Structure 1
């Protein structure tokens, strides 16, 4: 890259920094006052004119300074913004906040709260389904003659319970034997792959036991189905109020998007960052009409799941990229 191009990127960098910090259009005079650019005012004005001609910045109204366009933010992210290593105090603060999380649910909940706090954006994390949905233990507890409690524990440490009413009473010994068969058929298996195993348990029982065994297998299958559903945890929706000036009318649309889990899952599913990398999508790149004024910064972890922040295009990309990257790596280590 030539010296002129490097200087233009330096000026673009300064414009993005100032616009992020002030929310005000940036002029050549303020650039010279705030940054040691090492060039004359005439050169800055000339370079800003070139940046405008290239569609990287735009003048929102007459006699105003310039603001970055989507193309300008993209150039900033691609050529200037880099993953900035967190300082030792920042790393220790993250590790201290997350280290004593009891299970995956708690870890992901803490992660999105921390990410929303440090970036001042909406944070979201997608569950690593295949990891969370591996069976660790199943328990059958007879509560009465026709009442049974099913307990499902998966590798994430999550515990699900369901009470079912039985068509006919069976003794404790029956359910102890059935529990043993279920454990042998399902333990260590993924809930998305256990339909045949459950059917096999029922089929191998004596004919007179198949109705009762089928009741339990059906209820357990329903619990497995619940674990098949993709999930997202959100935090920081209140940060949108701080960004209202950036989104204007789009804030209401964005709040609607945050209520639609399937839309958010699609947004994250569309992202495909390289391992250990962070992907940034800006404005129209998100391909959602409600997010035309937004930016999405995400990283993958675990079994194809993603961690991301969503906010205005005028966000601190350097801090966002660094924190998303660091927290995705932390969760990846937790899942190993």
Structure 2
């Protein structure tokens, strides 16, 4: 019974401290929470919790505050994630579904998380390296130049120019890809009919396949076309694979950074270390990726000194993966002080990640 009561005392301390931002004393716990025991018993429980490292006394004669270890126990065993209300869920779905393109979707998702949590939101762009091909479009743009439009299954749109038969002196203002060695395509290679057939074959071969499977699928297409078209088909196939394999996963959206300046955030080491840590995007994304892959409720939490970045030693990071058809293609997270509303933050991150997955192209 004493173990359960001490956990109840810890939960009450965490909840009160998050709400009031003031150290919590035994008398306050007795008055605010129906713990069913005397202040003396609560003081004994607080002493045991302090000895175990779950709470600490910041000043003499002050109440107690949770430590990183206390927050960890709270998150792992005590926190009850509050589901969002029906109006909140409808508002999230409506707001995201009204986006006009991928940039708008991710910008809206970041603003939503920042608004719901009152903290900083971090949204990673879907990585083309993890994507498949949703649709390929081929558009002749004059002469022997071809515009190749690559639409990934995460909704990213990339445009590349292919100079059919061009050499190293191709115009530097465009992304030009030399066609591989082999027979030169005839002047009619870029007519609408030929391109339409080639486009249909490549799209059919890519259907349902991830990046790692595309080279083999496209090789079969190249082998099946006329020899005069093989260099063009191979050039297009290589360009698509190279585009989807581009290292673009380091692009992120930050929203709500101004929230860190609010008085209630109150970082002991000041705001500068936190802002500098947010600029370390590669390391930050590595942390978010680790969190999103942790087993459990689909949301990872890293508290205080558990974070690898020194600037985040006074913060907690909550993150979840998102992606269409159940695949994680990127990460969404929230960063705030260790004195955060963990149940609310976890619920908000999880809900926005789910709706973001739903509105991604499938």
TM range (shorter): 0.7 to 0.9
Q: Could you tell me how far apart the structure 2 residues matched to 1:229 and 1:326 are? A: 22
Verify the 8 A CA contact 1:138 1:150 in the aligned structure 2. yes
Alignment of 1:32-71 (within 5 A): 32-71=30-69
Q: 1:203-240, CA deviations, whole angstroms, 9 ceiling, x for partnerless residues?
A: 77667666666655554444223376465433222222
The structural deviation recorded for 1:98 is 2.4
The structure 2 residue matched to 1:226, chosen from 246, 270, 284, is 246
Verify the 8 A CA contact 2:139 2:146 in the aligned structure 1. yes
Name the SS of the counterpart of 1:234 in structure 2.
Answer: strand
Match of residue 78 from structure 2: 80
Alignment of 1:143-292 (within 5 A): 143-165=141-163, 167=166, 171=187, 173-174=189-190, 176=192, 177-178=194-195, 180-186=197-203, 187-188=206-207, 189-197=209-217, 216-226=236-246, 229=249, 231-242=251-262, 246-249=266-269, 251-271=271-291, 272-274=293-295, 276-292=297-313
Name the SS of the counterpart of 2:160 in structure 1.
Answer: strand
The structural deviation recorded for 1:321 is 1.7
Match of residue 314 from structure 1: 339
The structural deviation recorded for 1:279 is 2.7
Q: 1:25-83, CA deviations, whole angstroms, 9 ceiling, x for partnerless residues?
A: 22334434444444333233222222211111111222322211011111211232112
Alignment of 1:93-104 (within 5 A): 93-102=91-100
- Give yes or no for the alignment of 1:135 onto 2:159: no
Name the SS of the counterpart of 1:238 in structure 2.
Answer: helix
Match of residue 326 from structure 1: 351
RMSD value, Cα: 3.4
Match of residue 314 from structure 2: 293
Q: 1:113-170, CA deviations, whole angstroms, 9 ceiling, x for partnerless residues?
A: 2111111122223455479732232222222225432212233343222345552897
Name the SS of the counterpart of 2:202 in structure 1.
Answer: helix
Q: 234-243 or 128-137, which moves further after superposition?
A: 128-137
Q: Could you tell me how far apart the structure 1 residues matched to 2:88 and 2:321 are? A: 21
Q: Could you tell me how far apart the structure 2 residues matched to 1:244 and 1:32 are? A: 25
Q: Could you tell me how far apart the structure 2 residues matched to 1:260 and 1:182 are? A: 41
Verify the 8 A CA contact 1:83 1:322 in the aligned structure 2. yes
Q: Could you tell me how far apart the structure 1 residues matched to 2:44 and 2:297 are? A: 39
Structure 2 gaps, min length 5: 168-184
Verify the 8 A CA contact 1:132 1:155 in the aligned structure 2. no
The structural deviation recorded for 1:13 is 1.9
- Give yes or no for the alignment of 1:303 onto 2:327: yes
Q: Could you tell me how far apart the structure 2 residues matched to 1:132 and 1:310 are? A: 25
Aligned residues: 334
Q: Which has more helix, going by share of residues? A: 1
Verify the 8 A CA contact 1:297 1:310 in the aligned structure 2. yes
Q: 1:59-112, CA deviations, whole angstroms, 9 ceiling, x for partnerless residues?
A: 122232221101111121123211222222222222222233455554343222
Verify the 8 A CA contact 1:246 1:314 in the aligned structure 2. no
Name the SS of the counterpart of 1:48 in structure 2.
Answer: helix
